[in-house]
């Protein structure tokens, strides 16, 4: 039995938990087992290191720490100051940013901090001047309404959902859609690629306050130099949400025109996904927005989570190591190998391939909806998520697409040969699955038919594929 530090730490933690609520301990153990045994292809998921995971389970969880480093509303935060300052330092050095704010609890929170920072910074009004340097939250009701009148239209231009944009970029179901009058830019119907001339045309017509770039399901690079030029041409603040591809920026796979940090006024990200840290968010900006961003708590956020900021510091320190650049490069190599394998087997891919960490399969060619494909693959030990494709006839719930990504499998060490084998397994499942029917005999968008023997066979092959690449080999619980 292994007695290394990682195994000892996790086994001991589970014993302590089991003494209080054994069902929680069992669920934690089961989650590790499930992740070890399945092909995780969800583009927004990864595996954080044992050091990052352990940094979240400690006494920092017991601390309130509203405010920022050196300016807290609670006493006794000197150790929180240390880990927050370290996380911000690593973020600045890793991304070449002038300022980093590491308190956001999620990507949505990071975006809200950015939106309100932009709004507060862009306003030069009697109401704000009368309030002097107080936060927007502190304005009197009369000052607030005067400020809103002088703000005029709060307009945001971002990528449409079916083209690969994100819900937090001004869409109605999210709070951002209630804050802003939103309009979308899409992609070229023939190529699936961003048409920058069309974006510029939309910006000239709409005159947004904020131009947002970034995506959750666009499999290509974005030219942020061109996007900044478009923003400047209409006096918009240029914001980039790099939550999905932050690891590729950190690993210097995306550089020059494709690195958002030198071009954007403000950049938001999550710290998990391709960055391989804890679940959380972060904002990067220049000095002109730093003061407003640092007011994220209490303007938007509740109390910071010091234990997660400690984990962010650990993960960002890991990302500054030379081996992370190699990891980031292999993510893209694997995504392209996976895309090539699918194309050779006749799959239809949005944009015909990928430049980043994700691949978007249009499963309508298999006669399936995304929901049917997602569940059939899950039955076969392959974890993906359904996703809309451009001009999707099935909408955002059933969808016509499956989004797959390579950050997690790359962390496990799989390479091009394994990506080709994975493409074969995916194609086998999709090719052998047929759409089902409802009780009335009508075609169903959710029900499907897959021979259990096929699912079992693919699941075994998936497990065999993973055997040489154990997940957390340094951790043994039994």
Catalytically active residues, by annotation: 64, 66, 241, 270, 273, 279
Please name the residues in contact with 49: beta carbons below 8 A apart, sequence gap of 6 or more: 276, 314, 315, 318
CA neighbor of 408 nearest in space, from 469, 455, 478: 469
Structure tokens at 290: 């730093």
* Dist CA 163 CA 227 (whole Å): 17
**Rounded to whole angstroms, what are the CA distances from 65 to 190, 293, 377?**
51, 16, 44
The residue assigned the tokens 């391939």 is 353
Beta bridge partners of 386: 402
- 128-159: string of b/e by CB count within 10 Å (b at 16+)? beebeeeebeebeeebeebbeeeeeebbbbbb
113 DSSP 8-state letter? H
> Based on C-alpha coordinates, what's the Rg of the chain?
23
Residue located via tokens 């029900």: 447
Nearest-5° angle of CA 252, CA 278, CA 22? 150
Q: In whole angstroms, give the CA distance from residue 411 to residue 47.
A: 7
């Amino acid at each position: 039995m292994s007695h290394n530090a990682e195994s000892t730490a996790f086994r001991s933690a589970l014993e302590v938990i089991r003494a209080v609520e054994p069902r929680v301990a069992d669920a934690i153990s089961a989650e590790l087992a499930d992740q070890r045994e399945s092909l995780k292809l969800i583009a927004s998921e990864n595996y954080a290191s044992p050091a990052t995971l352990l940094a979240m389970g400690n006494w920092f969880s017991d601390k309130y720490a509203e405010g920022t480093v050196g300016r807290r509303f609670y006493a006794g935060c000197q150790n929180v100051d240390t880990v927050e300052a370290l996380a911000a330092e690593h973020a600045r050095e890793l991304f070449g940013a002038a300022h980093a704010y590491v308190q956001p609890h999620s990507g949505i929170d990071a975006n809200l901090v950015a939106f309100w920072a932009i709004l507060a910074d862009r306003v030069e009004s009697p109401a704000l001047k009368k309030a002097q340097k107080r936060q927007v939250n502190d304005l009197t009701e009369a000052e607030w309404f005067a400020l809103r009148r002088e703000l005029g239209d709060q307009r945001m231009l971002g990528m449409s959902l079916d083209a690969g944009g994100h819900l937090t970029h001004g869409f109605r179901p999210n709070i951002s859609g209630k804050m802003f009058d939103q309009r979308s830019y899409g992609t070229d119907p023939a190529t699936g690629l961003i048409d920058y001339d069309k974006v510029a045309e939309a910006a000239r017509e709409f005159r947004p306050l904020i131009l947002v770039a970034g995506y959750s399901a666009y499999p290509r690079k974005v030219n942020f130099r061109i996007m900044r030029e478009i923003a400047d041409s209409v006096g918009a603040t240029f914001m980039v949400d790099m939550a999905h591809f932050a690891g590729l920026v950190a690993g210097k796979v995306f550089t020059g025109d494709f690195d958002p940090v030198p071009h954007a006024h403000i950049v938001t990200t999550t710290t998990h996904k391709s960055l391989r840290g804890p679940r959380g968010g972060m904002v990067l900006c220049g000095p002109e927005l730093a003061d407003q961003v640092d007011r994220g708590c209490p303007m938007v956020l509740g109390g910071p989570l010091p234990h997660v900021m400690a984990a962010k510091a650990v993960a960002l320190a890991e990302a500054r190591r030379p081996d992370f650049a190699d990891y980031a490069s292999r993510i893209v190599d694997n995504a392209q190998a996976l895309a090539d394998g699918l194309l050779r087997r006749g799959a239809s891919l949005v944009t015909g391939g990928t430049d980043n960490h994700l691949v978007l399969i249009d499963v309508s060619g298999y006669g399936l909806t995304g929901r049917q494909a997602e569940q059939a693959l899950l039955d076969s030990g392959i974890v993906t998520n359904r996703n809309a494709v451009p001009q999707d006839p099935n909408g955002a719930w059933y969808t016509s697409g499956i989004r797959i990504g390579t950050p997690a499998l790359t962390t496990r060490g799989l390479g091009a040969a394994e990506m080709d084998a994975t493409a074969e397994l995916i194609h086998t499942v999709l090719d052998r699955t047929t759409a089902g029917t409802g009780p009335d005999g009508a075609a169903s968008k959710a029900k499907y038919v897959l021979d259990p023997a096929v699912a079992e066979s693919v699941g075994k092959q998936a497990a065999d594929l993973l055997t040489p690449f154990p997940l957390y080999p340094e951790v043994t619980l039994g």
